[in-house]
Amino acid sequence: MFLLQNWKKDYIVSVVRIIVDMNESSEEERGDFKLCIHRSVDEDWLPLLRKKHEMTLALHPYCEKCGLVRNIGPDRPRKIGYYIDKLSELERYLKNEDSKGGKNKLTEAQKRLIVKEMEEQEVFKDLYGVLASTQKEKFIEIIKKYRADIEEHVIEYHLG
């Protein structure tokens, strides 16, 4: 059990380092990563978080070109269409909200800007090694950028 906990800690620290490095580096430094067409050939035994505190080992494929490990856990990412659909649900909710009399609606311009920004984000383009929780955080951040008045729990509720 102790070995598994240390493995979990080391794995999480290494994944966090990779994410921080990706966020801090410019597009020029990343080079091929953005254009990588992932090709999985080998698999390594790595920890798999099944629930919040339950961890096992599982074979994880990784890209032979860029080295990115594929996410095979329960926190799988979704395509951008899922988030556009959830944005439409949020738009309908705001339009029909009784407390504001429908004056709190999401405008078409705001919706287009949100979708455009989502299309530019790597977390919605390259689903190979991304977590759904990372996408969720980015989705909330983008909506809050254009509509700071919408509370975070309302957005999370519509994400499901």
Whether 87 maps to a domain, the answer reads yes
Domain membership of residue 68 (yes or no) is no
57 and 6 share one domain: yes
Mean pLDDT of 16-42: 52
Choose the final residue of a domain: 32, 63, 94. 63
Please provide the average confidence, as pLDDT, over all residues in the chain: 76
Query: Is pLDDT above 60 for 22?
Result: no
- Does residue 74 fall inside a structural domain? no
pLDDT at 29: 42
User: Mind listing the pLDDT tens digit for each residue in 55-77?
Assistant: 777 777 878 777 777 777 778 88
Does the reported pTM lie above 0.75? no
Task: Give residue 47's domain range.
Answer: 2-63
Instruction: Give me the mean pLDDT over the 71-98 stretch.
Output: 87
Averaged pLDDT for residues 112-124: 93
Is a pLDDT exceeding 70 seen at residue 94?
yes
Task: Give me the number of domains the chain comprises.
Answer: 2
What is the DSSP code string of the chain? -HHHHHHHHHHHHHHHHHHHHHHHS-HHHHGGGTT----EEEEEEEEEE-SSS-EEEEEEEEETTT-PBPP-SSS----HHHHHHHHHHHHHHHHH-TTTTTTTPPPHHHHHHHHHHHHH-HHHH--SS--HHHHHHHHHHHHHHH-TTS-HHHHHHHH-
| The pLDDT value given to residue 81 | 94
